[in-house]
Structure 1
Amino acid sequence: MAKCRNCGKKLSFTEALVAICTECDEKRVAEASKSKEQKEAERAAMLAEAEAEKRRIESVLLTTESAIHDLRIVKRLDVITVECAFGMNIFKDLFASARDFFGGRSAAVQNTMRESRQTALNELRAEAHRIGANAVIGIDLDYVELSGSGNMVLLVASGTAVVIEGAA
Structure 2
Amino acid sequence: MLVTTTPTVQGHEITKYLGVVCGEVVVGAHLGKDILASFTNIVGGRSNAYESTLRETRDNALAEMMEEARKLGGNAIVGAKFDYTVIGQGGSMMMVAVSGTAVTLA
* Fold in common (TM above 0.5): yes
Residue 75 of structure 1 aligns with which residue?
16
Percent identical: 38
The runs of at least 4 aligned residues of structure 1 exceeding 3 Å deviation read 147-150
Deviation string 1:81-125 (CA, Å, 9 cap, x unpaired) is 111001111100111122223321110100000101111111111
RMSD: 1.3
Tell me, in whole angstroms, the C-alpha distance in 2 between the residues paired with 1:118 and 1:92: 19
Structure having greater relative contact order (Cα 8 Å, sep ≥ 6) = 2
Q: Give the counterpart letter for 2:10 in structure 1.
A: H
Structure 1 alignment gaps of length 5 or more: 1-59
- State which of 109, 120, 125 in structure 1 corresponds to 2:50: 109
Q: Runs of 5+ in structure 2 lacking a partner?
A: none
- TM-score when scaled to structure 2? 0.92
2:73 aligned partner: 132
Deviations 1:3-37 (A, max 9, x none): xxxxxxxxxxxxxxxxxxxxxxxxxxxxxxxxxxx
User: Which residue of structure 1 lines up, in the alignment, with residue 5 of structure 2?
Assistant: 64
| Rg comparison, structure with higher value | 1
Task: Check whether the contact 1:93–1:151 (CA below 8 A) recurs between aligned residues.
Answer: no
Q: Distance in 1 between matches of 2:39 and 2:83?
A: 26
Corresponding residue SS for 1:157: strand
Q: Relative to total residues, which structure has the larger strand share, 1 or 2?
A: 2
